Amino acid sequence: KKVLFSGMQATGNLTLGNYLGALKNWVKLSDEYECFYCVVDEHSITVRQDPATLRKRARALLTLYIAAGLDPEKNCIYYQSHVSAHAELAWILNCYTYMGELNRMTQFKDKAAKHADNINAGLFTYPVLMAADILLFQADVVPVGIDQKQHLEITRDIAQRFNSIYGDTFTIPEPYIGKAGAKIMSLQNPEKKMSKSDENPNGSIYLMDDTDTIIRKCKRAVTDSEGCVRYRDEQPGVKNLIDIYCACTGKLPSDVEREFDGKGYGELKMAVGEAVAAQLAPLQSEVARLEKDKAYIDGVIKNNAEKAAYFANKTLRKVQRKVGFPDRI
């Protein structure tokens, strides 16, 4: 079986963007691949976190992976910080990555601008840790949203560079970017992607929002003064609502234009809100059920960390040998 790796940061409550751009595709692909789904808590501290909150969010995120439909018997679901090989390989790969390459990363620029008081070295080398995550498992495919495409490209570059120096070591991964929902925009600013670390809660729909909240946020979504439901770049707010609607219902943008021909934004927003609420309801009830089963989640955490470490260490040992570290006796 081919290998799939993906992960999310425990930096906030998951948004509809994370679900439609990533998690939903993970579930879709999970039968086809040998899968590793990581809660990337080491990436999370590139931005300052409150320790108690981080711990709580990490557990909530791991629970959510399972609630979304990933079977932890068949998929390896674990915390990055429980598998030390991530940090160890990242160090080595740091020495095979150029400052100039990292300087071009748009996420670094965005996040550095947002957290000007804490532009730390970890934020800068974030893509190298991400490359380590992926390459450790010899992943063939990495399902992500469009915002992570550049990080996948640098991962491929680092892997190819290493392979060309030391011979075949890493599988070169391909991104998997779904057709619908690959870039959900903020409801309050359709020029900006929806992010779980956004401070304005009205810009994001959180996976745990109740139906009333979802509908209220959709009703307040920023649109335009054109007054017609059309799928085009000139109407980014409406386009985003259509994207959300399509990702939740499986409809195509052209169907939606027809469905709302002659109708106003109010009707579109209501339909989007209802479609989102219907999409999230089963996920929410499953989370509520799983949260009660502490022993079960604890078991998943323990068993899967061991399984992940086993695979990760195989690659790490190979790499350590290739760069010239002394053999273990």
Nearer to ligand ATP, 190 or 273 (CB): 190
Cα(first)–Cα(last) distance of the chain, in Å? Answer: 33
The strands making up 141-143's β-sheet, listed across from edge to edge, are 76-79, 34-39, 3-8, 141-143, 174-176
Catalytic residue among 149, 192, 193, 292: 193
Has 111 been annotated as catalytic? yes
Other C-beta atoms closer than 10 Å to the C-beta of 274 total 17
Q: Does 269 bind ligand ATP (CB under 6 A)?
A: no
Catalytic residue among 56, 109, 111, 314: 111
Tokens 């059920």 belong to which residue?
289
Nearer to ligand ATP, 7 or 273 (CB): 7
Nearer to ligand ATP, 17 or 72 (CB): 17
Asked if 42 contacts 129 with a C-beta cutoff of 8 angstroms, the reply is yes
Has 114 been annotated as catalytic? no
Work out which of 78, 126, 136, 145 binds ligand ATP, going by CB under 6 A. Answer: 145
Report in angstroms the alpha-carbon separations of 246 from 23, 182, 206, 238, 252.
16, 12, 18, 12, 6
Tell me whether strands 174-176 and 34-39 are parallel, antiparallel or unpaired.
unpaired
Using Cβ positions, the residue closest to ligand ATP within the complex turns out to be 21
| Number of residues lying near ligand ATP (CB under 6 A) | 21
Nearer to ligand ATP, 139 or 316 (CB): 139
H/E run at residue 37: strand 34-39
Asked if 19 contacts 207 with a C-beta cutoff of 8 angstroms, the reply is yes
Work out which of 3, 5, 11, 275 binds ligand ATP, going by CB under 6 A. Answer: 11
178 is in an annotated binding site: no
Catalytic residue among 56, 114, 196, 302: 196
Has 196 been annotated as catalytic? yes
Work out which of 83, 105, 184, 247 binds ligand ATP, going by CB under 6 A. Answer: 184
Q: Does 25 bind ligand ATP (CB under 6 A)?
A: no
Integer Cα distance of 102 and 311 in angstroms: 28
Taking contact as CB under 6 A, which single stretch among the options 92-100, 141-149, 205-213, 217-225 is the one that binds ligand ATP? 141-149
Which residues fall in the annotated binding site for ATP? 9-11, 17-18, 145-147, 184, 193-197
